[in-house]
Structure 1
Amino acid sequence: MADTDGLLDARDFGGAASGTGGFHVKGAQAQDWGLQNRLARIFKADTGRTVMLAFDHGYFLGPMAGLERIDVNIAPLVPDADAIMLTRGVLRTSIPPATDAGIVLRASGGPSVLRDLSDEHIALDMEDAVRLNAAAVAIQVFVGSENESRSIANLAALVDAGQRHGVAVLGVTAVGKDMVRDARYFRLATRISAEMGAHIVKTYYVEEGFETVTASCPVPIIVAGGKKLPELDALTMAYRSIQEGAAGVDMGRNIFQSENPAGMLAAIRAVVHDEVKPEEAYQLFKDHSAAGTAS
């Protein structure tokens, strides 16, 4: 066991990135063609970034506000997302097969919101992910929780299966109610996920030191939208995330619980892919909302 006494805080996160090998997704230059191709379905080649629309919340929350009818409320938004994060049940029942969005399937589950959420298991066979033409599968990693070791073992098992089939794995850093949400924790959680083989890591934005989180993770980091925020605040968080090294955002409630989901998705795209400032993007959102009202 490594001696953890007297460890120094990591502090040198500078220097230019190297070894991209001509492929636009960070850390994937040595992957097989099939896995690179799947990553390219998620991250746009011209920007290296992604706008992912997440609506997998029902796997532990049930039909929350905005997700009562996936076919009515969410399916019309899918064409404007680079990728979508969802369960296989919703994909088969509610999403048109002609979609061009990269499919990211939720691969972990078990407990509902009424139980300990860290008590998860792998809930998707990789062969089914391939059958559904998934670009990636997603799994929670509960660093610091009671079930930390199992969740990391679940991630490792999924990575092994993903490498065999050429399917990317997205590690999602889960944060419990009692965990500190700071850069030091997220550096730990994201780095562990990447070291265990995750091809993408999803985490939360923090206002202090987030650039050290993205710099110290050797694979792309995408930022979770988290709880519903006022539109300008959500756009500001997305903008700062990108400016500080994130490769995209994975927004759920901040899009589908917005008063104008389509307008918010368009505004988020402008921030992520065109680096439009939050205030300009917010005006784009308002213009879209006004046009929708007028029609």
Structure 2
Amino acid sequence: MQIGKAIRRERIFNRDTNRTIIVPLDHGVSVGPIFGLTDMKKTVGNIVEGGANAVLMHKGLVRCGHRTQGKDIGLIVHLSASTNLSPFPGAKTLVCTVEEAITLGADAVSLHINLGDEAEASMLGHLGEVSKAASSWGIPILAMIYGRGPKIANEFDPEIVAHCARVGVELGADVVKVPYTGEPESFSKVVDGSCIPVVIAGGPKTPDTRSFLKMVEESVQAGGAGLSVGRNIFQHKDPKTLLKALNLIVHGEYSTDDAIAQVGDL
């Protein structure tokens, strides 16, 4: 890995565990100012105090939500977008460049690709374009890749998830984000097919905190590099305590039960 990418990667990963806890806050473009994303200073403050490694947001939100006091946190600027108001919400388009992200102080950039969507070719082209620019500037890429489209019966199918991760590897990503396959045995095969870190997505907001923590625990046991999860963290009743439990699981290799016992009621 280039020295610039390696140095910046350490700002979004724990250098001792080589794992990460990323909290995406980019949902406002897709669905609007949902609960948890109105007071961005408060939201990011809770995430920092909980001990996350990085936040992820669109370029315009950096001025509203990134740090002006206290402990710093890694910044990933998201480059692609679509809205749920569109007749084609799965078709992501580039709305920011690598160069813009660097001027904002980004430690990494990210983009979203839906394999199987009618606009897949365009989104793959975006990854190729971003990969070239990111290599020139020495900034890491997080590729969020999902199997979503007319031919995809189940986006959590281990073969589809493994294919998504491998696309990220082969087209130049430095970290890939994919859905969890549901159990560690199949997810370990996803990780085995990737020579870059694989982090899991959180999916829709779930009411069961323990199940969420157990999913993270299993993914780490299977060789995963952590998580990139938004709503299940920033919409939680106590994001700071939840992140403390996640830190114990991801970076401390605690079991879910031991982590909950350590931090208290969740």
* Paired residues for 1:3-22 under 5 Å: none
* Paired residues for 1:47-66 under 5 Å: 47-66=17-36
> In the alignment, which of 198, 203, 207 is matched to residue 221 of structure 1?
198
Distance 2:123 2:235 in 1: 30
Q: Deviations over 1:149-185 (max 9, x none)?
A: 1111101100101011111111101343763121100
Aligned to 1:202: 177
- What secondary structure is seen at the aligned counterpart in 1 of 2:10? helix
Partners of 1:129 and 1:137 within 8 A in 2:
yes
Aligned to 2:54: 83
Aligned to 1:239: 217
Counterpart check, 1:275 vs 2:253: yes
Partners of 1:67 and 1:74 within 8 A in 2:
no
Shift of 1:285: 4.2
Counterpart check, 1:211 vs 2:188: yes
Distance 1:254 1:177 in 2: 24
**Higher-Rg member (1/2):** 1
Aligned to 1:93: 64
- What secondary structure is seen at the aligned counterpart in 2 of 1:274? coil
Aligned to 1:105: 77
Q: Deviations over 1:20-39 (max 9, x none)?
A: xxxxxxxxxxx221111011
Report the TM-score, using the length of structure 2 for normalisation: 0.91
**Which amino acid counterpart does residue 199 of structure 2 have in structure 1?**
I
Partners of 2:147 and 2:160 within 8 A in 1:
no
Distance 2:2 2:149 in 1: 39
Distance 2:192 2:20 in 1: 18
Distance 2:125 2:74 in 1: 26
Counterpart check, 1:187 vs 2:187: no
Distance 1:74 1:175 in 2: 30
Distance 2:176 2:215 in 1: 17
Report the TM-score, using the length of structure 1 for normalisation: 0.83
Shift of 1:257: 1.4
* Paired residues for 1:164-175 under 5 Å: 164-175=136-147
Shift of 1:86: 1.1
CA RMSD of aligned residues (A): 1.6
Distance 1:47 1:279 in 2: 21
Q: Structure 1 residues 177, 254: CA separation in 2 closer, same or farther (over 3 Å shift)?
A: farther
- What secondary structure is seen at the aligned counterpart in 2 of 1:234? helix
Aligned to 2:89: 117
Q: Structure 1 residues 97, 162: CA separation in 2 closer, same or farther (over 3 Å shift)?
A: farther
Count residues with an aligned counterpart: 257
Partners of 1:235 and 1:281 within 8 A in 2:
no
Partners of 2:141 and 2:175 within 8 A in 1:
yes
Aligned sequence identity (%): 29
Segments of structure 2 that go 5 or more residues without pairing to the other structure are none
Shift of 1:117: 2.1
Shift of 1:195: 0.2
Distance 2:247 2:28 in 1: 25
Greater relative CO (CA pairs within 8 A, separation 6+): 2
Aligned to 2:132: 160
Distance 2:230 2:32 in 1: 14
